[in-house]
Each structure stands twice: as structure tokens, then as C-alpha cells.
């Protein structure tokens, strides 16, 4: 690769992330929110997508609504509320869940979440097949876990408000809050027992990567999100496992909602030769950018299993797809979330940000996974009985495969 290409790729990475807002699993109560893969501070795409729109809007009808609200609304409003409401509404008019306006405060929260620094209860939320808001995971040692919340608990109320109409974003906004404050949760456990919890929020800083050695000399790498520290921590773990002569690797991407594109490519590169295709970005049928392995293939040739589930999304799916399609890993678990579109993040003059969908990304095998997900080689589910017995059948299946 020429120096020019290397520098071009570096610039590209500085502006792109691979994040998601997951309908399957999201870092809840301030543990992390993402939305697709983002490009920062780019005022426009390579070609206009929303063709047919006028250069400027006709604001006369909008002013008519404003004047009517101003003259008739029986309540308190200020100019700031109205302005922010208009911005949110303009983004929402795209009818795209990934095109969103962030207020300055929301933009700051978003940046904090990218750095795994936030205040919350330390739980990951998801939606079950019936659309219930559930605890996907109560992270050990954090407030939700210490208070007694458990995986698969159904949250039916937050501070007395029913969650039946909540999106995951709504739930995060309600459950997250300043450290030291309390959130009240009403949950249903085992679909029969109703319990009330008061959880005191804490400031939380989590490393994105945890590792251990499993029985049978198998290295285990769990990535909770693809964050700023992911590349360094994963590379360090990879070298330690290689030096230890492990016979296999489990890369656990379950319930990982995504993160930095650079981290996803760097993690994939640990298994892939330089130049191997990781993903392509397309606008329509035109390839606008390709991403290839960097060549730091410490784990290349070591048998590997990647664990995925319905909470594995975006950057997680990029990594899982790249390793699978390049025949570097076997996928075990359940079908991933299916987030295959690209967002652009634009900083606005008032400190807010606009995130807008601009393109799609494709696996090395040419597939776009949006709304489809990635189907594992071995479909292994964790039953309710397994959960009660704290039995991880997916991890057991990965170990059995590597111990053959």
C-alpha cells in the first residue's frame, strides 16, 4: 500500500464510526448509544440523495402554525423549545430511525457514550420477541446488578410511567440520569413475579475489552463496544494469547451495539492478511470507499469462533462478516441485528449535531445486511432454563468446536 493510500485511509478513519441504535440490544441507562457508521464534519455527501427538494423551504405555512400556537396555546413555551422542536421535527421528517437531530446536550451525551463514560445503572436493554423492554444484561458490580436486577427481567414501568410505548431511546432517556440520583423500576420476572427496584445511578467508565483463558487453553476476548481503547486492548490480548500458544480463540461480540469503524477494521486485521476486504461503502450502486485489513495479523491461522446474537450490530457485524467471509472464523449463536446503513454526523453552529443516513455498507461476500442480519454457521440458542441455571450454551458450543 502506498503512503498516499495509507494517509487517505487514516483521514477516512478520523471521520467514521460504526455505531447503532439497536432494536435488539443497546447499552441502557447511559452505557452507550450509537447509530450506524458515522462521518464527522462533512457538509455534504458525494452526490445529493434527496433530489427534488427545493433549494430553500417556504416557511409561510410553518409561520402560520407558529402564530397559531403562539396565540392559542394554553401553556408555557419559549423560543428555544420551539426552535429545538423544529430541528427535531425536520430530522424526523425523513422517517428514518437513524436520521436524528441532537441538541448540544444530546451531542455531548453522545460523545461521552462513544468514550464509554456516562452516568447510569449499568445495564444493557433490549426488546424481546413480544416487544417488551427487557434487561439484556446487568453488568456485574454495577448498580443494576448490585440492586438485584437480572437478565431477562421485563421492565414495565420507569418512575411510574408504563414502558409499553417506549422505544429503546425513550427508555435510555428515562433511566439515565446524574450520578447519585435514583430511578424506580417495576419489573416482571419469570413472566409471573412483579418486583419494584430503586437503583442509584453511578458514573461508569468501562474498558471495552475483557479477556480470560478458558479451560483447554482457549483465549477469550469479549468486546462490549468498539471504542477508543478497543484496538489497543485487543491487540495486547492477541499478542498475549499468541505468546501463550493458545489452540483457539473465542471472540465474543454478543450484545455489542457497535462503535468505531477504525476499531472494527483493526480488530478484523488481527486475523486477516494485509489487503483482505473488510467492507465496502456504497451510495446506490457506486462503491465510494473500500476498507481492507491493515496487516497486523497476530492471530492469523489460529482457529477462531465468533459469538453473535440479536444484539450484535453494525461494527460487530462488520467484524463478524469480515472474519466469516474471509474464512478466518466460524460464527456461533443467533442471527445478528442487521444494521447496514451509514450515517454522516455534522456539527452545527449552535453546538448541536445532525446525524443523517447517507449510504450503505457491504460485507466481503457482497451482501448488505440491513434488516437481514448475519446468520451464524451454528445456530445455538440460550433457553429460559439455561438462563436460570446461568448456563452459557453458546460459549459451551464454541469451546466444544475449538476442542475438537
Which pLDDT score is estimated for 239? 98
Same domain as 162, residue 273: no
Q: Is 19 helix (H, G, I), strand (E, B) or coil?
A: strand
Which residue range forms the structural domain that includes residue 160? 120-205
Task: Give domain status of residue 159, yes or no.
Answer: yes
Which one of the listed residues 16, 335, 339, 355 is annotated catalytic? 339
Same domain as 246, residue 153: no
Counting the structural domains of the chain, the total is: 2
Q: Does the annotation mark 339 as catalytic?
A: yes
Q: From CA 314, how far away is CA 319, in angstroms rounded?
A: 9
Task: Give domain status of residue 222, yes or no.
Answer: yes
Q: What is the pTM of this model?
A: 0.77
For the ranges 106-110, 194-198, 279-283, which has the lowest average pLDDT?
A: 106-110
Same domain as 393, residue 249: yes
What is the CATH number for 331?
Answer: 3.90.226.10
Which pLDDT score is estimated for 36? 38
Nearest by Cα to 234 from 203, 259, 255, 204: 259
Does residue 23 carry a pLDDT above 70?
A: no
Which position has the higher pLDDT, 106 or 240?
Answer: 240
Instruction: Give the confidence band of 119 by pLDDT, cuts at 50, 70, 90.
Output: confident
Task: Give domain status of residue 165, yes or no.
Answer: yes
What average pLDDT does this structure show over 242-260? 93
Same domain as 283, residue 185: no
Does residue 1 carry a pLDDT above 60?
A: no
Same domain as 217, residue 185: no
Which pLDDT score is estimated for 51? 66
The 10s digit of each residue's pLDDT in 161-171 is 999 988 877 88
The 10s digit of each residue's pLDDT in 322-339 is 999 999 999 999 999 999
Which pLDDT score is estimated for 194? 97
Which pLDDT score is estimated for 385? 86
Task: Give domain status of residue 59, yes or no.
Answer: no
Does residue 46 carry a pLDDT above 70?
A: no
Whole-number mean pLDDT of the chain? Answer: 85
Which one of the listed residues 35, 312, 325, 355 is annotated catalytic? 325
Same domain as 241, residue 200: no
Same domain as 278, residue 185: no
Which pLDDT score is estimated for 341? 87
Q: Does the annotation mark 161 as catalytic?
A: no
- Residue ending a domain, choose from 164, 183, 205: 205
List the helix and strand counts (H, then E) for the chain.
Answer: 11, 22
Which pLDDT score is estimated for 172? 82
Q: Which residues contact 360 (CB under 8 A, 6 or more apart)?
A: 281, 282, 283, 340, 341, 342, 368, 370
Does residue 348 carry a pLDDT above 50?
A: yes
Does residue 14 carry a pLDDT above 60?
A: no
- Residue ending a domain, choose from 205, 228, 253: 205
Which pLDDT score is estimated for 210? 94
Which one of the listed residues 314, 316, 336, 360 is annotated catalytic? 314
Instruction: Give the confidence band of 64 by pLDDT, cuts at 50, 70, 90.
Output: very high
Same domain as 142, residue 262: no
What average pLDDT does this structure show over 174-183? 93
Nearest by Cα to 219 from 261, 256, 199, 247: 247
Task: Give domain status of residue 103, yes or no.
Answer: no
Which pLDDT score is estimated for 255? 87
- Residue ending a domain, choose from 205, 239, 269: 205
Q: Is 87 helix (H, G, I), strand (E, B) or coil?
A: helix
| Percent with pLDDT over 70 in the chain | 87
Q: Does the annotation mark 243 as catalytic?
A: no
Instruction: Give the confidence band of 49 by pLDDT, cuts at 50, 70, 90.
Output: low
What is the CATH number for 136?
Answer: 2.30.42.10
Q: From CA 124, how far away is CA 160, in angstroms rounded?
A: 20
Amino acid at each position: 500500500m502506498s503512503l498516499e493510500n495509507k494517509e487517505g485511509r487514516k483521514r477516512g478513519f478520523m471521520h467514521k464510526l460504526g455505531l447503532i441504535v439497536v432494536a435488539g440490544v443497546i447499552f441502557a441507562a447511559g452505557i452507550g448509544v450509537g447509530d450506524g457508521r458515522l462521518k464527522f464534519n462533512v457538509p455534504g455527501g458525494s452526490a445529493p440523495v434527496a433530489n427534488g427538494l427545493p433549494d430553500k423551504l417556504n416557511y409561510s405555512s410553518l409561520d402560520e402554525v407558529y402564530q397559531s400556537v403562539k396565540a392559542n396555546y394554553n401553556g408555557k413555551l419559549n423560543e428555544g423549545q420551539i426552535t429545538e422542536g423544529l430541528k427535531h421535527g425536520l430530522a424526523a421528517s425523513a422517517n428514518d430511525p437513524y436520521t436524528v437531530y441532537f441538541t448540544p446536550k444530546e451531542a455531548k451525551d453522545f460523545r461521552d457514550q462513544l468514550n464509554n463514560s456516562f452516568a447510569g445503572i449499568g445495564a444493557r436493554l433490549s426488546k424481546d420477541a413480544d416487544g417488551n423492554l427487557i434487561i439484556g444484561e446487568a453488568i456485574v458490580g454495577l448498580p443494576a446488578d448490585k440492586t438485584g436486577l437480572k437478565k431477562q427481567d421485563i421492565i414495565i414501568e420507569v418512575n411510574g410511567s408504563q414502558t409499553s410505548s417506549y422505544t429503546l431511546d425513550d427508555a435510555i432517556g428515562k433511566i439515565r440520569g446524574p450520578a447519585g440520583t435514583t430511578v424506580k423500576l417495576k419489573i416482571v420476572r419469570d413472566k409471573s413475579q412483579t418486583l419494584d427496584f430503586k437503583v442509584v445511578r453511578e458514573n461508569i467508565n468501562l474498558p471495552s475489552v475483557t479477556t480470560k483463558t478458558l479451560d483447554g487453553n482457549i483465549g477469550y476476548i469479549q468486546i462490549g463496544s468498539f471504542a477508543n481503547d478497543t484496538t489497543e486492548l485487543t491487540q495486547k490480548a492477541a499478542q498475549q494469547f499468541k505468546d501463550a500458544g493458545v489452540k483457539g480463540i473465542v471472540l465474543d461480540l454478543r450484545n455489542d451495539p457497535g462503535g468505531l469503524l477504525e476499531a472494527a477494521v483493526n480488530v478484523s486485521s488481527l486475523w486477516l492478511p494485509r489487503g483482505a476486504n473488510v467492507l465496502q461503502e456504497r451510495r446506490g450502486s457506486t462503491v465510494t470507499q473500500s476498507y481492507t485489513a491493515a496487516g497486523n495479523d497476530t492471530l492469523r491461522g489460529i482457529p477462531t469462533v465468533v459469538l453473535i446474537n440479536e444484539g450484535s450490530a453494525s461494527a460487530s457485524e462488520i467484524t463478524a462478516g469480515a472474519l466469516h467471509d474471509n474464512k478466518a472464523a466460524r460464527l456461533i449463536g443467533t442471527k445478528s441485528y442487521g444494521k447496514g446503513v451509514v450515517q454522516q454526523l455534522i456539527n452545527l453552529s449552535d453546538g448541536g449535531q445532525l446525524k443523517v443516513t447517507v449510504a450503505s455498507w457491504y460485507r466481503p461476500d457482497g451482501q448488505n445486511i440491513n434488516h437481514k442480519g448475519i446468520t451464524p454457521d451454528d445456530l445455538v440458542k440460550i433457553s429460559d432454563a439455561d438462563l436460570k441455571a446461568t448456563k452459557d450454551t453458546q460459549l459451551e458450543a464454541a469451546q466444544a468446536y475449538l476442542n475438537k
